[in-house]
Amino acid sequence: MTILEIQQLKRERKKLAVVTAYDALFARIVEQAGIRVILVGDSLGVVVQGKANTLSVTMEDMLYHTKLVADAAPRALVISDMPFMSYQVSAEDAVRNAGRLLQTGAAAVKLEGGAVMADRVKAMTSLGIPVVGHLGMTPQSVHALGGYKVQGKADDQASRLLDDARALEAAGAFALVLEAIPAELARKVTQALSISTIGIGAGPHCDGQVLVLYDLLGLFDTFVPKFVKTYAHLKTDALQALSRYREDVEQGKFPSDSESYH
Ligand code: KIV
């Protein structure tokens, strides 16, 4: 998958399915399922590391998980999240850290924020680093936003978000993640831009959709937002399997003859 193909999909009004992955095992499964764009999201801070938010994720964490995914899914386009404080301070930081992610195997990076980040996006894209923006509910600003809440409901917020989207497009971003905003606003942004919008909790009108892998597989149930559709129940399956294994061991049923060497 290439960025040119993503742009082509927008022109042809074809939808793009994106999902997160953080390790080789799941990256292979995602690729086998025909999903051609993988986001190594800093959501790994929550679903892999067990933290309350994404703020403590480091560049080293992102480099490690990006390498696992990129090596395991060589045909997919891997987008890697820039973690908190890897781009906020300066455009120089942004370029240096994005470059490290590309050297590790990512084809593009994603950062959060609107017009205020346009200089970072411009600095990166002018040096050949493809960038995805992220607007709406931006988890790295969870404290400033007062929690995980739908954004862009009020008229002034909505028009600011549209301005931010235009500023990121003008700065060279090739796609935008729109998280937790009203479907009508996402439709407006999608129609206003020539770059792809990828929604998560942003309704059906975006050019593509993204979900956190462990949410859609039913593995992570600490907090399940309204926008998640659960396509499997792997936590339930895992609990049943592990309980059966424990019982078999405790009752002397495992290993049996067929699992033993002679
Ligand atoms: O970190 C992440 O997984 C994300 C998606 C939720 C879009 O940013």
Tokens of 83: 């973690």
Query: What CA–CA distance (Å, rounded) separates 75 from 70?
Result: 9
Residues 6+ apart with CB under 8 A from 115: 163, 164, 167, 168
If we measure between CA atoms, which residue out of 183, 176, 249, 184 comes closest to residue 210? Answer: 176
Cα–Cα distances (Å) from 244 to 235, 239, 249, 251, 252, in that order, read 14, 9, 9, 10, 12
β-strand partners of 199: 178, 209
How much is the pTM? 0.97
Probe target for ligand 1 pocket from 210, 220, 223, 228, with the most ligand atoms within 8 Å of CB: 210
Question: Ligand 1 pocket test: which of 181, 200, 224, 228 has the largest number of ligand atoms within 8 Å of its C-beta?
Answer: 200
What does each of the 262 residues of the chain score in pLDDT, given as a tens digit?
Answer: 999 999 999 999 999 999 999 999 999 999 999 999 999 999 999 999 999 999 999 999 999 999 999 999 999 999 999 999 999 999 999 999 999 999 999 999 999 999 999 999 999 999 999 999 999 999 999 999 999 999 999 999 999 999 999 999 999 999 999 999 999 999 999 999 999 999 999 999 999 999 999 999 999 999 899 999 999 999 999 999 999 999 999 999 999 999 999 9
Question: Distance between CA atoms of 38 and 78, rounded to whole angstroms?
Answer: 5
Residues with a CB atom less than 6 Å from ligand 1? 20, 39, 41-43, 81, 177, 179, 200, 210, 212
